[in-house]
Structure 1
Amino acid sequence: MAQATVAVLFGGRSSEHAISSATAGGVLGAIDRDRFRVIPVGITRDGVFVLEEDDPERFRLDAAQLPEVTDNGTRVLWPMPGGARELRVRHADGRVDSLGEVDVVLPILHGIHGEDGTMQGFLDVLEIPYAGGRVLDSAVCMDKHFMKVALQAAGIAVAPWVTVRARQWASDEEAVRSAVDGLGYPVFVKPSRAGSSVGVSKAHDASELAEAMRVAFAEDDKVLVETAIVGREIEVAVLEGRAAGETRASLPGEIVLTTREFYDFEGKYLGGDGADIVCPAQLSDEETARIREIGARAFDAVDGRGLARVDVFLTAAGEIVVNELNTMPGFTPISMYPKCWIATGLSYADLITELVELGLAA
């Protein structure tokens, strides 16, 4: 089988730059080099495309110093649509080299300017195939307000919420507080368009709401305030079906909190105590089947493509409430998404191959 050339795209302009870079370390170390030739393309925090080292160790997840893409003076030059998909690099001295034709892009980008449909639209314009979500599902799932609207329309349970714009909070705080009182405390306050729990906090009562709003508004001018659902935190990994086949869902995993109030950034990525990943989750066969079915339904409700992680709460009464979908979930070797597929029988390397092949077939 001839090698396909994969441009692995990572870093980016969002607050999740370091996590994307760490994901690149995992992917570069595990991708099947017999099947794929890899071109690592980093995006700096300023949005510059650079040719990066093909060195997994350089982007290893290290809590003491998170990895990042720095400007090394190179500039990756994308091809124009309608012709050969030749990727080129201009070096700092002005010399331009060909990197060969790219068959597919694997955009392992989190947050805005990457996971929100903008990069997907860019690649669509260039007519370059890519793995993962398309413009619509990426944009819908990046905006938690519209994600909830889409899920509700499909008859899928979500946590009650109110959406607050910065201008509303600034001009009529009392009206916002009244709406939040209607939800009942405690509540979670989160940016509408951010991930990796960046900007998320819990307000136990009205006295904590202003600080929680300040933290969330630092990330986005649109904020969701949600009822705090009491239940087990279950996550299921979803893959698009092959050749228009049925959507596939993994065995579910569980976030088990011991000393943390919620699964925050430190618990997810920096090895903080108080949160453990258990995969597969200890569930009945009936619970497992329902969660997998709801995960697939949620993916289909947003016109999902490629992959997504679907996060749900399982309440003591047996209700399954969808918290959110992530169209490019944490994808480091220790992240829940690959762990769920590994528990289901698909290795990390084979999962990467599956994503790339779905992109090639799109």
Structure 2
Amino acid sequence: MSKLQVGVIFGGNSSEYPVSLHSVASVLRNLDANKYDVTMIGIDPNGNWYVYDGDIDTLEHDHWLESGHATRALLSPSKQEGLLILENGTYTTKKLDVLLPILHGKNGEDGTIQGLFTLSQIPYVGCNHVSSAIAMDKEYTHIICESAGIPMAPYIALRKNMPQTMAQIVKQVEAKLQFPLFVKPANAGSSFGISKVNVMDDLEKAIDFAYAYDDKIVIESGISGFEVGSSVLGNDALIIGDVDEIETHNSFFDYDAKYELENTQIHCPARISDEKKAEIKAYAKTIYHVLGCSGLSRIDMFIDDDEKIFFNEINTIPGFTSASRYPSMMANVGYDFPKLLDTLLELALEKANATK
């Protein structure tokens, strides 16, 4: 049998570009070369597309663009063309059977590129453009999940194009929220732009910081407790991975805690009762279906001091390094890295066939 033609997309015009490089390196090392003919497709921080045919280490350390192994390319929105590879004033085409985006944050996880995939009519791993966009936007996630009865922290949303005075914002905060507050860009990941605010005098600075990453922000009441996560794999029938637990001595689970494990330890499985794990997994299934997800997601929640569960956020393309939480949770239920990737590609083809 001929190998499946897989386009693996990495990089991206996003603040999470470096995270993608580390994730995709692990993915490429774990894709079975006997099953897949892999085309590496890189997007640089300016949004330019390339086909890359160099080694994985060069990619991971962000020297791929100047390596001499990157050729300009683009994905056509036309079904007939597929991938266009541009050289010497002309182009060649390459047909791909399935796309595996390892992109995080804006323009990669927010439905933007998923819309292009849909136009190209190439099957792809992960949520569709609508679910990706909703899951990326913390305000819309709040609205939809709260309407389904899923508990979340109280919040307010602010928009840069609808300016308010600090006095007006303070009034909203005092009426609805409690300190500590978390101020977040509505559309960003990896804890970029997030601040923990303990007193009102620090709120304006945190708002300005969040607006540097997005034109819409959310301000949430902090939940006193600890964070747990649940991994989901599947389209309609779902496989739920193990539950993990974050133990951090930082003020919150920030970028350094996530990627350097600064003052942080991740326990998988979580150090909680089986009954609480079952409750978390049930919430994860509900959230996944309510948001219309497919393929995969990692769903993060809090357990407060009274052992109540609160949904925090969903990541539709979670981290994929060998030490990342999603692969670790799935490995604990029998899906090692190669099997996990096999399953994700199968699910992408299954979803495409179901919509024909």
TM-score interval (norm. to shorter): over 0.9
Q: 1:282 matched to which residue of 2? A: 271
* 8 Å CA contact 1:17, 1:68 repeated in 2: no
Q: 2:55 matched to which residue of 1? A: 55
- CA displacement, residues 201-257 of structure 1 (integer Å, 9 cap, x when unaligned): 10011011111111101001111000000112100111124xx42x22111011111
Distance in 1 of aligned mates of 2:313 and 2:191: 12
* 8 Å CA contact 1:28, 1:55 repeated in 2: no
Distance in 2 of aligned mates of 1:311 and 1:272: 17
Aligned length: 348
Cα-Cα RMSD:
1.8
Q: 2:13 matched to which residue of 1? A: 13
Distance in 2 of aligned mates of 1:324 and 1:194: 11
- CA displacement, residues 268-297 of structure 1 (integer Å, 9 cap, x when unaligned): 12x242111111111211011111111111
Q: 1:326 matched to which residue of 2? A: 315
Tell me which of 227, 240, 245 is aligned to 1:254: 245
Q: Which runs of 5+ in 2 are unaligned?
A: 352-356
Distance in 2 of aligned mates of 1:132 and 1:263: 25
Q: Name the aligned partner's letter for residue 24 of structure 2.
A: A
The structural deviation recorded for 1:111 is 1.1
Distance in 1 of aligned mates of 2:197 and 2:75: 46
Distance in 1 of aligned mates of 2:11 and 2:64: 6
Q: 1:149 matched to which residue of 2? A: 143
**Matching of residue 103 in structure 1 with residue 94 in structure 2:** no
**Matching of residue 177 in structure 1 with residue 170 in structure 2:** yes
Distance in 2 of aligned mates of 1:3 and 1:39: 12
* 8 Å CA contact 1:25, 1:56 repeated in 2: yes
Q: 1:63 matched to which residue of 2? A: none
Q: 2:255 matched to which residue of 1? A: 265
Distance in 2 of aligned mates of 1:115 and 1:145: 16
**Matching of residue 40 in structure 1 with residue 40 in structure 2:** yes
Q: Which runs of 5+ in 1 are unaligned?
A: 61-65
The structural deviation recorded for 1:96 is 3.9
Aligned-residue identity in percent: 34
Normalised by the length of structure 2, the TM-score is 0.93
**Matching of residue 190 in structure 1 with residue 184 in structure 2:** yes
Distance in 1 of aligned mates of 2:59 and 2:174: 44
* 8 Å CA contact 1:338, 1:348 repeated in 2: yes
Distance in 2 of aligned mates of 1:233 and 1:49: 37
Q: Name the aligned partner's letter for residue 158 of structure 2.
A: V
Distance in 2 of aligned mates of 1:193 and 1:255: 23
Distance in 2 of aligned mates of 1:196 and 1:82: 34
Distance in 2 of aligned mates of 1:306 and 1:101: 22
Other structure's SS at 2:110 match = coil
**Matching of residue 303 in structure 1 with residue 292 in structure 2:** yes
- CA displacement, residues 53-109 of structure 1 (integer Å, 9 cap, x when unaligned): 35221233xxxxx63763766221434534364x34223x446445x4200000111
Q: Name the aligned partner's letter for residue 208 of structure 1.
A: D
**Matching of residue 225 in structure 1 with residue 219 in structure 2:** yes
Q: 1:216 matched to which residue of 2? A: 210
Are the structure 2 counterparts of residues 80 and 304 from structure 1 closer, same or farther at C-alpha, using a change threshold of 3 Å? Answer: closer
Distance in 2 of aligned mates of 1:77 and 1:191: 30
Q: Name the aligned partner's letter for residue 55 of structure 1.
A: D
Are the structure 2 counterparts of residues 276 and 68 from structure 1 closer, same or farther at C-alpha, using a change threshold of 3 Å? Answer: farther
* 8 Å CA contact 1:248, 1:296 repeated in 2: no
* 8 Å CA contact 1:188, 1:226 repeated in 2: yes
Distance in 2 of aligned mates of 1:37 and 1:329: 24
The structural deviation recorded for 1:176 is 0.6
Distance in 2 of aligned mates of 1:131 and 1:237: 15
Moved more, 313-322 or 41-50: 313-322
Normalised by the length of structure 1, the TM-score is 0.91
The structural deviation recorded for 1:130 is 0.6
The structural deviation recorded for 1:329 is 1.0
Q: 1:347 matched to which residue of 2? A: 336
Q: Name the aligned partner's letter for residue 138 of structure 1.
A: S
Distance in 2 of aligned mates of 1:171 and 1:210: 12
Structure 1 consecutive aligned stretches of length 4 or more whose deviation exceeds 6 Å: none
The structural deviation recorded for 1:21 is 1.5
* 8 Å CA contact 2:58, 2:64 repeated in 1: no
